[in-house]
Amino acid sequence: MDKAADLFKRIAHSASLKAALIGATGYFLLAAATIRLTSDGRNHATVWPADAMILALLLASPRQRWPAIILAGWAGNFVANGATRGWMAGLLLYGAINMAQTVMAAVLLQRSDSGNELLANTRSSLHFLLSAGILAPALGALLGSLASLANYGEPLGPSFLRWYASNALGLLIVTPFLKSLLDGGYLRCYTERNWLERAEALGLHATHIALTAAVFSQNTMPLLFLPICSLLLLSFRLGRLGTQAGVIIIALIGGISAFRGLGPITLMHQAPEFDAFFFQIYLAILLCTALPVAATVSANTEALTKLAEREEALHLIMSNSPDGIISLDRGGICRWADGRIEDYLGVEPADLLGKPLGEIAGRTGVRFPILPGPADGQEQTTAEFTPKLRPDITLEASAGIVEHEGVRLGTIVTLRDVSARKAREVAISKMAETDDLTGALNRKGFRQRFDEAVKDVTRPVSLALIDVDHFKSINDTFGHAIGDAVLQEVVARIKANTRSTDIVGRLGGDEFAIVFDGDISIAKAACERLTDSFRLTPVFEQRNIHLNASISCGVAELHPSMSRGQFFDAADLALYNAKHQGRGCVRAAA
């Protein structure tokens, strides 16, 4: 454990040392170059980008590395100012003020969760503008101008404005660029593009550099609007990374040109201080114009990327899902389809695109549920159906309404194979309606089928009631096991002498019933064949037992004037007559 802790400390120490070296070196180079190129050594630079190096490092580093980075920045500030402006003790105070405003900006950005992506969206851009462009440089300008007033007697107002404008522009312009450079954003942007996109990016940057250089290398025409055009083109095509680089190009070329007395700004023929102030306003306008565009482009790009990722994930999920999905717009036109559409409906998903609901239903047999009204919310309804092209399966369609702020946008229909569930439901229903001894319908199942049969008055229906003669004596003499076997044989012979369209049921004990799809002559003929089979063949044979039995049948035909009860009573009366006229016979109702 101690060795692991020591190794971790060494790694952390080396990372802090690396960050400190980058901070000190970067701060010195940026500060020295800025002073040499845009200042005479006494006045403020038009843009002060050096603090942006420290801010970018702080945002890219954990808190434990901050002290080393801040000290490195302080040292770089002192050395750069001393080497270019002359050594004096006051430089340490000004360096401390620079570091204080930089730390304040870093803390504010981290607390607002905007430190990772400075210009990723409008929210993060506003937080960055408030933290690094207003609050932090205002604090630094206040402290710096007070120090200049105390040390050198410089007026508070002008000193505050020069410090504020220079540092605010430096932080706003350079920080996003350096942070993207340090965290590999630019490298990823380059490597993730194909050769054509890389060529486009390089061409846009080269065009922007050439145009900006051409504008600021002359002082005969007021062409300050041209760099804005190429900057916006960079923003729209390359997003925030292009915007960051584009603004820095304008600041660098324009700042050097302004210091040398070149560029359209000199056409106003004002004092150098006014030209510098005007250039700062120009850069501020560039930022206010380009940053919202970059934020919007970045947000849209991120949204499109996430949408593409979600579409790909949805397609992957649906390709491995047991469901099929059909999306309809509010006019009932198919927008997209995915999943097991071909397996379920027998058509390719692409064949449904652009087709109206009615055409899809007519071609595939899909049954769409009745959807609730807009006031009913996000309720779902379902419907079961058998597809035309896949009659061997049963599908369930579930429909859900897609709404936004109370406005119906469309419908999502999910298809699922419920064949196994349907088969189980049928089996359970059949078990609930089947007599477990004989396999015929039980009393409940028969009553349900009987009620359905008598509803159709367009075709003849007949009813036969059957009793096994002297069944009680069979049970008493041979036992219930043989009695049960006799009942099973009775049902077997009934089914052998009836059709699949006829309904056979056991009403209880030795009482059976048959609903015939036909008139009384059909019913009577079938019952006579049935009674003959009992006279000719024993109902039970095993070892030395040869058991004969007979049945009595009463049949009746349904007439339009009959109720269900009267129909049943007529067949029951015919059975009563058969029993009292010798049994083993068939009697028909008058």
Catalytic residues: 510
Query: Six-digit token pair at 408?
Result: 């119906």
Closest CA to 77 of 26, 43, 38: 26
Say if residues 147 and 97 touch (Cβ distance below 8 Å).
Answer: yes
DSSP 8-state secondary structure symbol assigned to residue 394: -
* Residue 12 CA from chain centroid, whole number: 40
Q: How far apart are CA 90 and CA 190, in angstroms?
A: 44
Q: How far apart are CA 574 and CA 556, in angstroms?
A: 7
Q: How far apart are CA 449 and CA 455, in angstroms?
A: 10
Closest CA to 40 of 261, 231, 225, 238: 261
Query: How many CA atoms does the CB half-sphere of 314 hold within 13 Å?
Result: 11
Closest CA to 251 of 171, 179, 180, 160: 171
Query: Six-digit token pair at 277?
Result: 């102030």
Say if residues 381 and 398 touch (Cβ distance below 8 Å).
Answer: yes
Task: Using alpha carbons, list the distances in angstroms from residue 534 to 108, 468, 490.
Answer: 101, 10, 9
Q: How far apart are CA 243 and CA 228, in angstroms?
A: 11
Say if residues 258 and 265 touch (Cβ distance below 8 Å).
Answer: yes
Closest CA to 80 of 23, 30, 28: 28
Question: What b-and-e string marks burial along 322-356, b requiring 16 or more CB atoms within 10 Å of the CB?
Answer: ebbbbbbeeeebbeebbbbbbebbbbebebbeebe
Residue 351: partners with Cβ closer than 8 Å, 6 or more residues away: none
Per DSSP, helices labelled H in 260-377 are: 272-319, 341-345, 357-364
